[in-house]
Structure 1
Amino acid sequence: MILDDFIYLDDKGIYCPYGDFYIDPKEPVPLAVISHAHADHAVSGNQEVYCTEATSAFMQLRYGKMAAKVFNLVGWHQPFKIKDVQITFISAGHMLGSAMILMEYQGSSYLYTGDFKLQPDNTCEPIEWHKADVLITESTFADPAVLHPDPVEEIKKLNDIKINIMLGSYALGKSQRLINLINEHAPQKKILVHHKIMPLNLIYERMGYKLGNYQMYGRKLMKNQEEFVYIVPPFTFDSYVRATGVKRLFASGWKNLQVNQQDTLFISDHADWNDILEAVKQVEPQQLWTLHGDGKHLKNYFKNGIFVKILN
């Protein structure tokens, strides 16, 4: 039997009362199960954390001793129990170490996607699927009007730009994917990375994910017009809003983060509308619960079929 209150939202985040743990809490809690290392899912200061090895490495790099008091590292498809809830990590394809969280309790199963994507990505584990009674999905781009373009075709836009490029990107996950894509599909470009991105790259390399050619940014290098692509985090990108002699682009699935209508680089690490429908097809849930976005379009789409509950 599906329990309507198996998880619910409180002031600290997504709470499972049957295991007395939080999933991706917004504030520090005694016990957290964390899907991936992006800051909106992985806060510092939790007492005890269950996560993948990569997620732990990124959190410890970013937060140091404040990351968590205890890390329990769990491999893919290795079930563990918190009280009477059995939990299994399944690859979400969002970034290195990102996990869907399968929870099984009293004969029913609940699959929390966290952030996920279906697009191929050489810098992380590919998405996997598992059947579940309830699919608890992110709905960041759960709108029929939002369909992500092919990332390869987007990155090929760089080939037509013959001056240096300042490419804004989130430091973790997106930057590493961009380095790999540029090396494969715009190989004449010389990639420079901001110093904040370099230690994250080293974790990828240590875990066996070779990104391709890149080097640390140097001011003297950018003075030469050699088709450099300088990848920078958002705060640096925003601080150079009036930069001259370079083409400014920001890689994101969000339209409001594009520089303008002409200079766009739509590369998203989230599921679009069709991807969410594919997730429902693969998981075959009896119920669909939505988080991290707006579930109204999904509720309308499945009104004559699957029960849809909007949690946020």
Structure 2
Amino acid sequence: MILDDFLSFDADGLYCGYGDFYLDPKQPVAKAVITHAHADHAVSGNTSVYATAATVAFMQLRYGKNAGKVIYTATYNAPFEIGEVQITFIPAGHMPGSAQVLMEYKDTRYLYTGDYKLQPDSTCEPMQFVKADVLITESTFAEPNTAHPDPVEEIKKLNDIKVNILLGAYSLGKSQRLIRMINEYAPQKKVLVHHRIMPINAIYEKLGFALGKHQMYGRKLMKTQEEWVYIVPPFTFDSYLRATGVKRLFASGWKNLQVNAQDTLFISDHADWADILHTIEQTQPKQVWTLHGEGKHLRDHFKNDIFVKLLN
């Protein structure tokens, strides 16, 4: 039987009262099940943290001793229990260590996706589908007119830009994916990386995800036109608003983050509308619960076929 109150929101985030734990809490809590290490899903200061080893490694890099007082790591597809709820981490395809959280309670399966993507990505584990009675899906891009383009064709656009490129990207996840893709599909480019990104790259390499050739940024290097691509985090990208002698690009699935109409770079680490529908098809849920975005389009799409509940 599906329990309507299996998950609920309170001031600290998404709470499972039947196991007494939070999923990606917004504030530090006693028991936190963390899907991945991005800051909007993994806060510091939790007492007990349940996550994959890769997620823990990134959290420890960013938070040090505040990553969690007690840390429980679990591999993919290896069930464990919190209270009376059995939990299994399933690959989510978002970044290394990212996990969907399969929760089983009294013979009912609830699957919380966290952030996920279906597009191929050689810098993380691929998305894995499992069956569930309730799919709790992110709906960041759950809008029928949203379709992410082929990321390979997007990165190949860099081949036509013959000046140095200042490329904005999130430090964890997106930057590493870009480094790998540039090495594969724009190999004549030379990749420079902001110093804050380099320690994250080292964890990727340790996890077995080879990124390809890149080096630390040097000011003298960018003064020469040798088809450099300098990857920087958002705060640095914004500080170079008036940079001359470079083409400014920002890699994102969001249209409002593209900095010029002529040269866009639509590369997203989230599922688009078609991918969400495909995930629902593969999961075969009796109900779909949405969060982290707009769920009304899914409710309108399925009408009476599948019950869709908007959690936020």
Both structures adopt the same fold (TM-score exceeding 0.5)? yes
Distance of 1:165 and 1:182 partners within structure 2: 12
| 2:96 aligned with 1:96 | yes
Unaligned runs of 5+ residues in structure 2 are none
Distance of 1:210 and 1:125 partners within structure 2: 13
Distance of 1:300 and 1:63 partners within structure 2: 41
Instruction: Report the Cα offset of residue 161 of structure 1.
Output: 0.4
Instruction: Report the Cα offset of residue 260 of structure 1.
Output: 1.9
CA offsets 1:75-114 (integer angstroms, 9 cap, x no match): 0111000010000000000001000000000110000000
- Where 1:299 maps in the other structure, the secondary structure is helix
| 2:301 aligned with 1:305 | no
Q: Which residue number in structure 2 is paired with residue 77 of structure 1?
A: 77
Distance of 1:20 and 1:75 partners within structure 2: 21
Q: Which residue number in structure 1 is paired with residue 243 of structure 2?
A: 243
Distance of 1:13 and 1:68 partners within structure 2: 17
Q: Which residue number in structure 2 is paired with residue 107 of structure 1?
A: 107
Distance of 1:257 and 1:264 partners within structure 2: 9
Distance of 1:156 and 1:107 partners within structure 2: 48
Residue identity in the other structure for 1:266 = F
Q: Which residue number in structure 2 is paired with residue 27 of structure 1?
A: 27
CA offsets 1:209-255 (integer angstroms, 9 cap, x no match): 10000000011111110000000000000000010000000000001
| 2:95 aligned with 1:87 | no
Q: Which residue number in structure 2 is paired with residue 11 of structure 1?
A: 11
- Where 1:42 maps in the other structure, the secondary structure is coil
Residue identity in the other structure for 2:291 = L
Q: Which residue number in structure 2 is paired with residue 45 of structure 1?
A: 45
- After superposition, residues 145-294 of structure 1 pair within 5 angstroms as 145-294=145-294
Percent identical residues: 73
Residue identity in the other structure for 1:165 = I
Instruction: Report the Cα offset of residue 308 of structure 1.
Output: 0.2
Distance of 2:261 and 2:28 partners within structure 1: 40
- Superposed CA RMSD: 0.4
Q: Which residue number in structure 2 is paired with residue 68 of structure 1?
A: 68
CA offsets 1:276-311 (integer angstroms, 9 cap, x no match): 000000000000000100001000001120000000
Distance of 1:268 and 1:148 partners within structure 2: 7
Instruction: Report the Cα offset of residue 47 of structure 1.
Output: 0.3
Distance of 1:83 and 1:68 partners within structure 2: 19
- Where 1:281 maps in the other structure, the secondary structure is helix
- Where 1:46 maps in the other structure, the secondary structure is coil
- Where 2:69 maps in the other structure, the secondary structure is strand
Distance of 2:245 and 2:211 partners within structure 1: 27
Distance of 1:96 and 1:241 partners within structure 2: 31
Residue identity in the other structure for 2:298 = L
Distance of 1:230 and 1:23 partners within structure 2: 35
- Where 2:71 maps in the other structure, the secondary structure is strand
Distance of 1:138 and 1:260 partners within structure 2: 28
Runs ≥4 residues deviating over 4 A:
none
Distance of 1:94 and 1:117 partners within structure 2: 5
Distance of 2:242 and 2:22 partners within structure 1: 43
Instruction: Report the Cα offset of residue 65 of structure 1.
Output: 1.0
CA offsets 1:34-56 (integer angstroms, 9 cap, x no match): 00000000000000000000000
Distance of 1:260 and 1:219 partners within structure 2: 24
Distance of 2:71 and 2:221 partners within structure 1: 41
Distance of 1:22 and 1:262 partners within structure 2: 43
Instruction: Report the Cα offset of residue 66 of structure 1.
Output: 1.1
Distance of 2:269 and 2:92 partners within structure 1: 11
Distance of 1:261 and 1:134 partners within structure 2: 40
